[in-house]
Structure 1
Amino acid sequence: MPRYGKLIGASLGPGDPELITRRAWAVSAVRCTLAVPGEKGRGRLVRTGHRRACGIAVPDDAEQLVFPMTRDAEILGKAWARAALRTVELLAEGRDLVFLVEGDASTFSTFGHLARVVRELAPEVVVETIAGVSSFAAAAASTGSTLAEEDETLAVIPAAYGVGVIDHLLDEFDTVVPAQGQASARRSH
Structure 2
Amino acid sequence: MKPGNFHGIGLGPGDPELLTLKAIHVIQGADRIFVPKSDTKEESMALEIVKDYVEEKKIIEQIYPMTKDKSLLNTAWRKAAEEVCTEIRNGYDVAYLTLGDPMTFSTYIYLLRYLLTMLPEHAIHTVPGITSYNAAACMANYPLLTGDERMAVIPMPKDITELRPILETFDTVVLMKVAKKLDEVIQLLEEINLTEHALFASYIGQKNAYLTYDLVSLKGSGRGYMSVLIVKRKMP
- Report if TM-score (shorter chain) is over 0.5: yes
Gaps of 5+ in 2: 177-225
Partner of 1:47: 45
Structure 2 counterpart of 1:149? 146
The separation in 1 between residues aligned to 2:97 and 2:34, in whole angstroms, is 6
Contact 2:11 2:101 in 1 (8 A): yes
2:63 to 63, 66, 77: 66
Deviations 1:17-40 (A, max 9, x none): 322110001111224100111122
Q: Which amino acid aligns with 1:51?
A: I
Q: Runs in 1 of length 4+ with deviation above 6 angstroms? A: none
5 Å-filtered alignment, 1:128-167, equals: 128-159=125-156, 161=157, 164=160, 165-167=162-164
Quote the Cα distance in structure 2 between the aligned partners of 1:88 and 1:38: 19
How far 1:181 sits from its partner (Å)? 5.4
Equivalent residues in 2 for 1:104-183, closer than 5 Å: 104-123=101-120, 126-159=123-156, 161=157, 164=160, 165-179=162-176, 182-183=228-229
Instruction: Give the 3-state SS of the residue equivalent to 2:4 in structure 1.
Output: coil
Unaligned runs of 5+ in 1: none
The CA RMSD over aligned residues, in Å, is 2.7
CA distance in 1 between partners of 2:127 and 2:12 (Å): 11
Which structure exhibits the higher relative contact order, with contacts defined as CA atoms closer than 8 Å and separated by 6 or more residues?
A: 1
Identity, in percent, stands at: 31
Residue matched to 1:22: 21
Which of 50, 60, 77 is the equivalent residue of 1:80? 77
Contact 1:10 1:131 in 2 (8 A): yes
